[in-house]
């Protein structure tokens, strides 16, 4: 049987000013009507050329199969009142997913891919709901690693919903109605985390996180305590983890004591140091190469900070960050009390910062700046304002202001990574 000859079509690549001929470039187009017949001809040629080896291939396969225990079961994993496991059956291509009561009882088959009418099956995520009544699994039947999530009722077998074109990663929220999942970008990288509620259209799912850095891939999983949903983003040598409350997976958050954050900052001083974070029901553990730091999580709900974030401003000031910070350091020396306000008097071309001390006298600094809007006198806790400036790195910063009793928004003009709020204090507290 003669070997098929692929047709040639003129095509030239040009990279970095260098031209390269590629007459087989047309094979990249999967929809080309000549491609599939040619591939089939190549396969037929291969089968004909290796036909005399068919008995040997069968003998090798049979011998390998004879050394495998086909009827087998994996050790069970405890899952609430159930023990879950997979088992294989002689002659079947795929494992069977099962469970049975921990105290003994009849086996329940949750999913048997061998009963499905597909030439190819790959099961990705396999997640039973927290109340053990529903199953969500991801299945790929094309080999293209594009999964479809299927949700079924375990008591009746009724299908409750599907999610199309996901990346095979699924996690349940504690309400047994909400699923979190990831989807691919064009480079087949899981880059978006979405939240779906059963019974609603998939195109209405809420986007919780989009990872724009192409080096990183997203994942989602439940903690063993069932208290949190952990969203991880990982590259080859680094990564980070964000946490969702499994009771209310509306935003990525975690209540961590302020002192614990300070200790975490100390552990992060080495650029090449790898830290491992572990979360329990009410505590967390940070492990480095040489240290282990344990701290308790704060019980309760974080205040809704969005209520104090200004949505509009009446005045906008642009100032050099380091000049302002140096002035605050000098004024702080004569501040009557660290908890008392310092006066900020905004004028069109400068802001005057002043404080007083009953024994040492008054301090006054004038800092050049650009102001849009009317003049304003407002008070701030000087220590809080210095902490805000310490988190920024830009040469120039922007202050957006309302009136004397409204919060000030501080940010870097070219970045959306940080949005800082400083609450005002009444100027009547200043003793001069």
Give 349-366 pLDDT, tens digit per residue: 999 998 877 677 788 899
Cα atoms in the Cβ-side hemisphere of radius 13 Å centred on 311: 3
Look up the CATH number of the domain holding residue 265. 3.10.150.10
Q: Which two tokens stand for residue 217?
A: 């891939």
Residues 211-252: tens digit of each pLDDT = 888 888 999 998 878 888 888 888 877 777 778 888 888 876
Distance CA 181, CA 250 (A): 13
* pTM higher than the cut 0.85: no
% of residues, the chain, pLDDT over 70: 88
Q: Cα dist. 205→81, 163, 279, 302 in Å?
A: 32, 10, 27, 25
**Which residue among 267, 285, 302 closes a domain?**
302
Look up the CATH number of the domain holding residue 226. 2.130.10.120
Of all helices (H) and strands (E), which one includes residue 321? helix 321-333
Distance CA 169, CA 190 (A): 9
Contacts of 144 (CB under 8 A, 6+ apart): none
Same domain, 7 and 136: no
Strand duo 134-140 + 122-128: pairing: antiparallel
Q: Is residue 137, in this structure, part of any structural domain at all?
A: yes
Q: What are the DSSP calls for 203-222, one per residue?
A: GGPEEEEE---TT-EEEEEE
Same domain, 195 and 242: yes
Return left, alpha or beta for 191; rule: phi > 0 is left, psi -120 to 50 is alpha, else beta. alpha
Q: Is residue 160, in this structure, part of any structural domain at all?
A: yes
Q: Is residue 94, in this structure, part of any structural domain at all?
A: no
Residues 69-115: tens digit of each pLDDT = 878 888 999 988 999 999 999 888 899 999 999 988 999 999 999 99
Same domain, 128 and 242: yes
Domain count of the chain?
4
- Domain of residue 314 covers 306-429
Same domain, 259 and 355: no
Q: Which two tokens stand for residue 330?
A: 């000098």
């Amino acid at each position: 049987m003669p070997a098929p000859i692929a047709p040639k079509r003129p095509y030239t690549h040009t990279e970095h000013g260098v031209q390269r001929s590629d007459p087989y470039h047309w094979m990249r187009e999967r929809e080309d009507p000549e491609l599939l017949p040619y591939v089939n001809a190549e396969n037929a040629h291969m089968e004909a050329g290796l036909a005399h080896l068919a008995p040997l291939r069968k003998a090798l396969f049979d011998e390998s199969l004879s050394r495998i225990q086909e009827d087998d079961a994996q050790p069970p994993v405890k899952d609430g009142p159930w023990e879950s496991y997979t088992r294989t059956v002689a002659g079947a291509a795929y494992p069977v997913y099962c469970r049975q009561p921990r105290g003994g009882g009849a086996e329940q088959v949750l999913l048997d891919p061998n009963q499905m009418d597909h030439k190819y099956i790959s099961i990705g995520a396999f997640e039973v709901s927290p109340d053990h009544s529903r199953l969500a699994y991801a299945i790929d039947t094309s080999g293209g690693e594009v999964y479809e999530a299927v949700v079924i009722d375990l008591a009746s077998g009724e299908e409750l919903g599907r999610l199309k074109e996901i990346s095979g990663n699924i996690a349940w929220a504690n309400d047994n109605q909400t699923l979190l999942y990831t989807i691919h970008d064009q480079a087949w990288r899981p880059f978006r985390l979405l939240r779906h509620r059963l019974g609603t259209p998939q195109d209405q799912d809420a986007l919780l996180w989009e990872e724009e850095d192409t080096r990183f891939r997203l994942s989602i999983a439940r903690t063993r305590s069932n208290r949190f949903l952990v969203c991880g983003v990982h590259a080859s040598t680094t990564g980070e983890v964000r946490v969702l409350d499994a009771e209310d997976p509306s935003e990525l958050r975690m209540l961590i004591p302020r002192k614990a954050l300070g200790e975490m900052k100390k552990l992060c001083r080495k650029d090449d140091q790898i830290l491992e974070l572990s979360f329990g029901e009410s505590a967390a553990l940070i492990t480095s190469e040489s240290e282990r730091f344990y701290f308790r999580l704060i019980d309760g709900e974080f205040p809704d900070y969005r209520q104090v974030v200004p949505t509009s401003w009446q005045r906008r000031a642009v100032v050099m960050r380091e000049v302002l910070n140096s002035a605050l350091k000098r004024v702080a020396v004569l501040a009557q009390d660290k908890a008392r306000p310092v006066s900020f008097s905004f004028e069109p071309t400068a802001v005057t910062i002043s404080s007083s001390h009953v024994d040492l006298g008054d301090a006054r600094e004038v800092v050049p700046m650009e102001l849009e809007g009317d003049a304003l006198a407002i008070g701030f806790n000087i220590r809080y304002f210095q902490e805000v400036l310490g988190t920024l790195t830009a040469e120039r910063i922007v202050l957006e202001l309302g009136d004397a009793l409204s919060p000030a928004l501080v940010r870097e003009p070219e970045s959306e990574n940080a949005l800082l709020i400083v609450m005002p204090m009444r100027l009547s507290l200043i003793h001069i």
